[in-house]
């Protein structure tokens, strides 16, 4: 994960640390750790596809993670509150053929009072991964 380009961060220090841990679980493709951040009734929207429930989300994410070798989030801006925020990032992928591609991404995240993710919406053109 890269944070050197982060210009605006409106999260509290505590939630920013939480979010870095959340993104680290993605960057390391650790599905078990990632699952610990999600509420059981979480909803995920990835471009035009929608998934409901933690089990369905984790199954989809695990399958998606097989389509590339690695990902590194490069944080640009984080806008919002500790319970609802938007990340603007560059996602650097190493494809399974060892080529690297970078795509712009936006992720909108909502958390409940326990700090678990209840909803996240991801928008990115992942065509270069194919």
In 3D, which of 26, 66, 61, 30 has the Cα closest to residue 53?
61
In 3D, which of 77, 47, 78, 76 has the Cα closest to residue 64?
47
Q: What pLDDT sits at residue 129?
A: 86
Instruction: Please state the separation of Cα 25 from the chain's center in Å.
Output: 9
In this prediction, residue 115 has a pLDDT band, given cuts at 50, 70 and 90, of very high
What share of the chain has pLDDT > 90, as a percent?
A: 98
Give the pLDDT confidence of 12-33 residue by residue, as tens digits.
999 999 999 999 999 999 999 9
In 3D, which of 118, 129, 115 has the Cα closest to residue 45?
118
pLDDT at 96 over 90: yes
In this prediction, residue 130 has a pLDDT band, given cuts at 50, 70 and 90, of confident
Interatomic CA distance for residues 103 and 89, integer angstroms? 8
| Domain ranges across the chain | 8-129
Strands (DSSP E) found in 19-59:
38-46, 49-52
pTM (two decimals): 0.95
| Count of other CB atoms within 10 angstroms of residue 17 | 11
**42 vs 130: which has the higher pLDDT:** 42
At the top level of CATH, the class of 8-129 is alpha beta
């Amino acid at each position: 994960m890269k944070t050197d380009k982060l210009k605006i961060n409106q999260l509290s220090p505590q939630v920013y640390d939480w979010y870095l841990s959340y993104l680290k679980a993605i960057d390391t493709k650790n599905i078990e750790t990632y699952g610990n951040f999600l509420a059981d009734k979480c909803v995920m929207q990835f471009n035009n596809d929608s998934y409901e429930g933690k089990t369905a989300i984790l199954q989809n994410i695990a399958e998606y993670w097989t389509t590339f070798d690695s990902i590194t989030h490069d944080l640009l801006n984080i806008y919002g509150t500790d319970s609802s925020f938007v990340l603007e990032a560059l996602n650097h992928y190493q494809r399974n053929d060892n080529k690297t591609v970078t795509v712009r991404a936006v992720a909108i995240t909502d958390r409940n009072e326990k700090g678990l993710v209840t909803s996240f919406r991801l928008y990115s053109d992942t065509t270069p991964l194919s």
